[in-house]
Structure formats: C-alpha cells, structure tokens
Structure 1
C-alpha cells in the first residue's frame, strides 16, 4: 500500500511539474498534447523526473530509465523536453537543452544495445 501511495505521489509531482513548465496549449497543439499525455502515462514518474533533471540540471539517469526511454521512443523524449524548454524562462538556453536531450538519447540507445 505504501508503494502505491508513493507512486501516486510521484505521478502527482510529475503532473504538477508539467503544468508548471508547459505553456497553455492552443487548439493547433491538441495532437501534441495527446502525445504528451500518452508519454507521461508510459514513462514512470521517477524516470520522467530523472530525464528532466539530466537535461535541465546535472542529474544522472539509471540504466532502467534509459531502457524505458528508448522503449517509448525519441518522439516522447523530444516532446517532453521541447515543451519544457519552450518556457520563456528557459528559452534562452533552449539550444543547450536540446543538445543535452540528444546526448541523453544517444547515451540511452547505447545502454539499451549493450544489454
């Protein structure tokens, strides 16, 4: 029961972060929002936070999160990072974040191929 409560709490944190970082969606972005929602459901809350921390901070990602990220596909990762990096407070470093996103993807693909 405690594990379920922790998972629900982590999911709440991720959803809160998403709404804090993601700009209000316009009608043209309904398809992108659907993809975003699909990705959030499939990647564990801890892995989503780890991915965000690697790209926007100096975090590290576990091999299991790399496997999950690669399993979901590059589109999910690109969507997650692009929406966050488009925030006005982060846009000045968007190029850096997109490079870190691509470096993370390359790292995770290499991890997934070795196991």
Structure 2
C-alpha cells in the first residue's frame, strides 16, 4: 500500500514539473519562466526528483546531488519547492515542506563546504 502511495506521489511530482515547464499546461509569468529556465540548466532531472523526494517524501539525497543543489542556488531551490508546495492538495502542509526545504539546503551547504 505504501509503495502505491509513493508511486502516486512520484507521478504527481513528474506531472507537476511538466505543467510547470510547458506553457500550454500552466500560466506562468515571463519572469518566473525565465527563472525556471535558468534553474533547469543547473541541475539534472534525477537530482531535481531526489530533492523533491527529500522534501515531500522523506527520502535521502546523495552528496553529488547536494553539490548540484548548492550549485543551482538558493533562489532556484526555493522556487521549485514553493511552486510544488502551493499545489492544492499539498498547501495544507506548505510550512512543513518549506521547513524541510531549508533543512535540506543547510545540510547540502555543509556537505559542499567539507568537500
């Protein structure tokens, strides 16, 4: 049962990412589109999904993805997490997700500083 829930969540996340990046599915202001385009160039899709998994699924992240996250930048990280956390079925726990997002950022910065 938990496995099905995880698959459903992963599918939702992928759909949310597609909707975020395909203008036909999402109305996004020009400034936000530019930021998303800039952020997407700095991080691999696998690491983006790993980051989302840490914040929304309590998964773990590799040191390599932590380095990518720090390279991506705090503004890109915050934009991605806030966009997903504001979805109707997640918004009730938005504060929790943003707290986890900050904890992930701090963890990754400490990992990057020791390398």
TM-score bracket, normalised by the shorter chain, equals 0.7 to 0.9
Encode CA deviations 1:38-96: one digit per residue, 9 max, x unaligned. 21232101100000000001111100100011011101100100100111111000000
Q: Within 2, Cα distance between the matches of 1:61 and 1:79? A: 19
Give the unaligned 5+ runs of structure 2.
1-12
Q: In structure 2, how many angstroms separate the alpha carbons of the residues matched to 1:15 and 1:95?
A: 22
- Scaled by the length of structure 2, the TM-score of the pair is 0.78
CA separation of 1:32/1:20 partners in 2, compared to 1, >3 Å: closer, same or farther?
closer
Q: Which residue in 2 is equivalent to 1:88?
A: 88
Equivalent residue for 1:19? 18
Cα RMSD for the two superposed structures: 2.0
Taking a change above 3 Å as real, the CA distance of residues 104 and 39 of structure 1, as seen in their structure-2 partners, is same
Q: What 5-or-longer segments of structure 1 have no aligned partner?
A: 1-13
Match of 1:5 in 2: none
Partner Cα separation in structure 1 for residue 93 and residue 20 of structure 2: 15
Contact 2:35 2:76 in 1 (8 A): yes
The aligned length equals 100
SS class of match (1:42): coil
- Aligned counterparts, 1:27-106, within 5 A: 29-106=29-106
